[in-house]
Amino acid sequence: MDFSRKVNYQSDFDVLLNLIGEDGKPVGYPDFDFMVKFECGGTYEVGQKGGVKRGVSEEDGKVKVVLNDHKLSPGTLKLVFSADIADPTYPDGKKLHVVPVETDVNLITEISEVSTGIVIDVKLPFSVAKEEPSGEESGDGDSQNGDGVE
């Protein structure tokens, strides 16, 4: 039985990228620079650099990509997710992570079965620490700083 998702190769379609950190937790929509290159007999690139989005948006904590006039060919869709993560140990101040992803999306010549609602998990080789709101205590009463101040 074929469990792939099928999209006519000439049709526009959209996907949601569910970014998962190395700790197994969802990353949410990234605040770092990234690029996504879709490959299938050609390439289609989208991403975010310096906060400027090109072909991507946030939807439900995921990266939404609309593949419009993509010019991809029939075959199995692949993608490469690249992320620039701040890291002062590198001369340019950032570390490049490249994640190739095999998908179960097939671009076909027949009628499409789906053109929206496709979710693709992207397992990243790093975790992203989300900043906690500052100036607020958790209020759980378990403070062990020993200074007696509450």
pLDDT in tens, 88-131: 999 999 999 999 999 999 999 998 877 778 999 999 998 876 65
HSE-CB of 110 using CA atoms within 13 angstroms: 5
pLDDT digits (tens, 9 = 90+) for 57-90: 999 999 999 999 999 999 999 999 999 999 999 9
pLDDT of residue 4: 77
For 109, the 3-state DSSP assignment is: coil
Kindly state the average pLDDT of the residues 41-48.
97
HSE-CB of 67 using CA atoms within 13 angstroms: 31
Tokens of 92: 């340019």
pLDDT at 24 over 80: yes
Of residues 42 and 132, more confidence is placed in 42
Query: Where are the domains positioned within the chain?
Result: 5-123
pLDDT of residue 131: 56
Q: How far apart are CA 64 and CA 14, in angstroms?
A: 7
Q: What's CA 50's distance to the chain center, in Å? A: 16
3-state helix, strand, coil in the chain (%, to 5): 0, 50, 50
pTM for the full model?
0.81
